[in-house]
Amino acid sequence: MMVYYLKKLGHQELGSINATTGRPSRGRYIYISKDTSVLSFFPPLSKNVKNDSSLLPIIPLYLTNAAKVYCNFIYHNDSYHGGTRNEYRIYSNNALEGNSFLFSEDDIFIMKKQEIQIEDTTQMVYFLDLIKKSNPVYTEFNDAIINSSIRGNHAIVNNEFQWFDHKIQLTLRTSTFNTVIDQTVTKKVEESENNVEDLFSATSFRDFVMNGYNNVCAVTGDVIKYGNFFNLEAAHIRPKSHGGTFLPSNGLALSRDIHWAFDKGFFTLNDDYTILIHDEIESAYLNSYQGKSIYVSSIDFFKPNLECIRYHRENVFGLFKTSGRL
């Protein structure tokens, strides 16, 4: 059964645009209903975890260039922790609004969650389209919201919207998806009261690591790419089998052969992010990188964690000499 979420924007969600500066005085967001039929549409958040949050991968169909944009989905549940707030929000960011203040009062969003295949991974994403009053279908969706049993300009609709599904399929067939992570998203992650490790999965780890390294190998500075296919992998610095996490700071974007060599301990990193090749490796190609610096993001959030690097150097470097496996 097809399930769609409709939401009409209110003025309070748009951050009160200052008439002089043309900028909002506070963050812009999409208010999400607490109705159970709406909440079942989104990742579950707990009232027991203060300001519990999730990272929501959204594909906005209204943008010229297709992208997978990450947004912060936060349950402001202060009412259960000594405060007064009790509301769910998806926070907007520059990437979601096309680097402009695209959203306006009374705009209607239509959303659908769907599993898609990107390269060799299956992942759940949220497709989002924006319907303005000038759109011929606006009245149809506005009526659906007016007639909804959910209060506050929300609706869950089970009828099939063929034009919307066709737009999704066309995007999937013709588009290359760049992952975009706005700095406001990483800032909210860093400020989160959650255990930050819990926010990341294997998929979001890969997305954030690739974004942090601008989709090129941290060692070679290169990539082989065609459409949504490329020869990069998100490598754990401290391996998962050794207690490593999915935090992006425990990751490096590496080409597949370099990733293999890193996991086998053929090389490691020094604390200054320079490359240390094991002295028993007989490879002119790999040895050509001896002492060279890897690419390191200027954004602290993505910089390799030094404790993870030291762990790799002390516990993985040279592991190829033993019969043990990671």
- Of 154, 184, 214, the residue at which a domain comes to its end is 184
Q: Answer yes or no: is 192 within a domain.
A: no
| Among 265, 238, 235, 232, residue whose Cα is nearest residue 252 | 235
In this model, does residue 326 exceed pLDDT 50?
Answer: no
Together in a domain, 287 and 151: no
The strand pairing partners of 110, in sequence order, are 6, 129
Q: Answer yes or no: is 279 within a domain.
A: yes
Together in a domain, 224 and 171: no
**Whether the model pTM is above 0.75:** yes
- Of 129, 154, 184, the residue at which a domain comes to its end is 184
Contact 262, 254 (CB under 8 A): yes
Together in a domain, 169 and 260: no
CATH code where residue 105 lies:
2.40.330.30
Cα distance between residue 35 and residue 41, in whole Å:
10
Structural domain of residue 267, as residue ranges?
A: 200-321
Each residue's pLDDT tens digit, 22-32: 677 788 999 99
Each residue's pLDDT tens digit, 17-60: 776 776 777 889 999 999 999 999 999 999 999 999 999 999 99
Residue 4 token pair: 């769609």
Residue 187 φ then ψ, to 5°: -65, -45
Together in a domain, 34 and 161: yes
pLDDT of amino acid 110: 97
- Of 135, 150, 184, the residue at which a domain comes to its end is 184
The count of domains in the chain is 2
Mean pLDDT of 262-268: 97
Q: Answer yes or no: is 189 within a domain.
A: no
Contact 230, 178 (CB under 8 A): no
CA-based end-to-end distance of the chain? 43
pLDDT of amino acid 287: 97
Whole-Å CA distances, 172 to 23, 42, 69, 119, 211: 34, 22, 15, 12, 20
